[in-house]
Amino acid sequence: MNSRKYAAEAIGTFWLTFAGCGSAVIAAGFPQVGIGLLGVSLAFGLSVVTMAYAIGHISGCHLNPAVTVGLAAGGRFPANQIAPYVAAQVVGAIAAAAVLYMIASGAPGFDLAKGFASNGYAEHSPGKYSMGSALIAEVVLTMMFLFVIMGATHGKAPAGFAPLAIGLMLTLIHLVSIPVTNTSVNPARSTGPALFVGGWALQQLWLFWLAPIVGGALGGVLYRWLSEDPAGQVTGK
């Protein structure tokens, strides 16, 4: 039933957002034992690996509107399922941000003004990167993310290893781009924290919808063009 697929996407995106953003908000800079950039990158990657094994057989484990659009562009996913998948992903991400807020706000000195793992550019980029730099980074990294997803889930790829390849790719993406945008490549993940931070985070949210969606579609189309058998296996149909 489709309702089970949507529920799986909501739960999976909840976990990605809660675990990934939670590592950044709660553990990244914890005094003396903070996990830092490497730890946050691994947390996002591990969240995908764990959920891919848990729900991949139910919904395809997209967890990301850009992945859903990219798979559709690559001929792997029915276009009429994009809207409900994206809606479920956004609901899951918002729920995760709400739970994370309830936990994080219990610590002394908690301040939403510190960003709450929101994505941003210019003065709100960790490295103060420009809007143009942020746009290029998000498009290119999401494009390559979809390229790897398409290849790893192809019917001719080694069986059982797709979650590891995809999770490691997401880890690598974060290692590159946390200084640039705090890493989105996922509009749902960006939306959850932005709703709680408000102000600048909501004003800049457009980029973290536009760039990943464009990048995802490009990645899907690129792999579809490159592969002799682009359909491979349909994910989430």
Domain boundaries, the chain: 2-107+116-226
Higher pLDDT, 1 or 114: 114
In 3-state terms the chain splits into helix, strand, coil percentages (rounded to 5) of: 70, 0, 30
| CATH code reported for the domain at 2-107+116-226 | 1.20.1080.10
pTM above 0.75, yes or no: yes
Spatial CA neighbour of 5 closest among 66, 67, 84? 84
Tens digit of pLDDT for each residue in 65-119?
999 999 999 999 999 999 999 999 999 999 999 999 999 999 998 999 888 999 9
Spell out where 49-204 has E strands: none
Spatial CA neighbour of 212 closest among 151, 115, 135? 135
Higher pLDDT, 35 or 176: 176
Instruction: Work out the percent of the chain whose per-residue pLDDT is above 90.
Output: 86
In the predicted structure, residue 159 carries a pLDDT above the cut 90: no
Residues 6+ apart with CB under 8 A from 103: 22, 26
